[in-house]
Structure 1
Amino acid sequence: MGRNTKNRPPRKRSPSKIAANQAARDAQLEKRQASKQYHLLSCFPGEFLRCKNNQAEVQTTIAANYNLARLRRVVLPKDDNTTFLVPVPPLTDKQKKLVGPAMMPRILLSRPGFTPQANAWVEEIGQVPFLLARFVDVLTAEEQSLLYEAYQEFLAANPSRPEDRGKNRSDTAAYHFCLWAHYKLAAFITRDSLQLKLKEPHRAQVLTLLDKFLSLVISLIVPRLSLLVNHYAPQHIAFMAPVYEKIEAQFAAEFLERPALKLGPLFFAVAVKHGSSQYIHLDGNDFQALWTFIVVISSKDGKWMGGDFFAPQLGGRIPVRGGQAIAAQTKILAHCGMEVHGEGRLVLTCFSHNAMVAKALFGPPKERRKAVVVG
């Protein structure tokens, strides 16, 4: 007669075994990126180096300069299991006049904190070497299921509806969690993260489920992306180090109360939605010199097609399957997600708000104060 194991508590693994398994998983992740395809551009796609956050202008410019119907049919990677890399081509002399070192937006050059020492610090770090990278096997099927189910549990708890910030990029709204700085000089915790419209005990239940989901983002996604970024774009980490230090100090009390809000050091916010953002746009609130990360998650029984990352300036689309991730300079590359057919697809866009990074590095705009050396 078999033993009844139904009510047996889960077996606890020792810290050493957990560490060994993680090390093996990291080694496997690096090995899976060994097959690479480089996509070389003849010139830098600089149409939007000085474009303000005007999505109508972006769509008009792209439509006038690119054959979108043809480019949507062009698949750039040779297969779905290859790391796909687009190196940054040299800027023209005219383009160099529009940006500072490491493609820093020119508007930052007039800030009090952008001293000669700060300029030298930025030049020493250098720019992120790839406009875009697609990484494969970032998450296993089991890990995707954990993330997907945790998010579904959060939705099932009936949280407040997300703020509709992206009508010019998608027909469906996304939740924005953790830290934001839009319309304010100081960073703050997003409304979606606080759920203040809900009454207790409902609010507490929703926040518990939200923090469960965000904790999985921290434990599963952040370490994998950190490993890849450290290898392919250590400049991103170097840029974010002083930013993370200041944000961590600013939100020390909030992070102590809710550790799940502490996403850093690669990014400080995550937007989550089903489907894709189907209208061509720029991520105007992201920091130009850094990567934004797009992680695709498939449910256990997910059956969907489409959702490719379409970037006309690169010459076509890049398929992104469940468990894969795109890292891209999305304030320079106009892009959209192609139509998704089926269900079970979740997209996480991980980024840092431009105002947060700029203020932490070079101080707030229009502030007359003694310059602070960065680095």
Structure 2
Amino acid sequence: MAAGFRFPKHKQDNRSSTPAAHLGSWHLSSGDLMVTRDTRNQLPEVEPIMNELFEHVQTKVVPPICEALLHHAPQVLPKMQKAHEYAKENVRKEHQAYYEPVDFGGMFFTLAIKEGSSERLHIDFNDHPHSLTWLVPFGEWTGGDFVVPQLGAVVPVRSGQILGAMTRVLLHCGTPITSGRRLVLTCFTDNTLIRT
């Protein structure tokens, strides 16, 4: 962020009072896989820092997510692997140079990165109903618990932990951050990619 990372201009939405940048790839609005505008439209000095972040995600976040899918949702893993094969073959030609750093092995395809919490109750309608979304927070803060009213659950998620949830079917939000600073990566896959 100090190097000039560009968040998109914030528009009012149903999730949060702070903006999120969407990094990686998605398929929602195109027949081909696209690398997101937020990934492609960064300052040249930000790109190596972003690539370092992506490398950390590939080596530190992807393996435990793969392990969690193997043990807790093995029926989801083949769908994700199929989407990954499709994505590698169908990334837009003009986006291919951007794709390798954001190839997360099919465990997810997009990272939403934001500061704070998504404190408004919502459902992620663009996610596939059978996929898992992964929350990866870091920093030091109080607040920011994951709330699922349907289950009567309030789950504290701390730095270094990863939480998986079916955010297309569970109404959810985060509690406000009351002190400190919290950055969160939300790792997800759009519903049209899994259906391909």
TM over 0.5: yes
| 1:29-50 CA distance string (max 9 Å, x none) | xxxxxxxxxxxxxxxxxxxxxx
1:293 to 115, 130, 134: 134
Residue 186 of structure 1: how far off its partner (Å)? 3.0
Q: Comparing both structures, which one devotes a greater share of its residues to strand?
A: 2
| Runs of 4+ deviating beyond 4 Å | 252-258
C-alpha distance in 1 between matches for 2:84 and 2:62: 14
Return 5+ residue gaps in structure 1 as ranges.
1-154, 361-375
Structure with larger Rg:
1
The share of aligned pairs that are identical, in percent, is 33
Residue 256 of structure 1: how far off its partner (Å)? 5.7
2:17 to 146, 163, 171: 171
Residue 344 of structure 1: how far off its partner (Å)? 2.9
1:269 to 90, 106, 110: 110
CA 1:286 to 1:164, structure 2 compared with 1: closer, same or farther past 3 Å? farther
C-alpha distance in 2 between matches for 1:217 and 1:319: 21
Secondary structure of 1:235's aligned partner: coil
Matched, 1:329 2:170: no
Q: Kindly report which structure 2 residues correspond to 1:15-94, keeping only aligned pairs within 5 A, or say none.
A: none
CA 1:166 to 1:317, structure 2 compared with 1: closer, same or farther past 3 Å? farther
Write the letter of the residue equivalent to 1:211. N
**Correspondence for 1:341:** 178
**Correspondence for 2:47:** 207
C-alpha distance in 2 between matches for 1:297 and 1:232: 24
CA 1:187 to 1:341, structure 2 compared with 1: closer, same or farther past 3 Å? same
Secondary structure of 1:205's aligned partner: coil
**Correspondence for 1:194:** 40
2:76 to 236, 241, 245: 236
Write the letter of the residue equivalent to 1:264. G
CA contact (8 A) 1:313 1:333 kept: yes
CA contact (8 A) 1:163 1:174 kept: no
1:250 to 81, 84, 90: 90
C-alpha distance in 2 between matches for 1:349 and 1:230: 20
**Correspondence for 2:29:** 183
Return 5+ residue gaps in structure 2 as ranges.
none
Matched, 1:320 2:157: yes
Per mean C-alpha deviation after superposition, the further-off stretch among 268-277 and 342-351 is 342-351
C-alpha distance in 2 between matches for 1:223 and 1:353: 20
Secondary structure of 1:234's aligned partner: coil
**Correspondence for 2:194:** 357
C-alpha distance in 2 between matches for 1:164 and 1:285: 19
- The CA RMSD over aligned residues, in Å, is 1.9
**Correspondence for 1:159:** 5
Aligned length: 195
Residue 165 of structure 1: how far off its partner (Å)? 6.3
| 1:86-139 CA distance string (max 9 Å, x none) | xxxxxxxxxxxxxxxxxxxxxxxxxxxxxxxxxxxxxxxxxxxxxxxxxxxxxx
Q: Comparing both structures, which one devotes a greater share of its residues to helix?
A: 1
2:62 to 222, 225, 239: 222
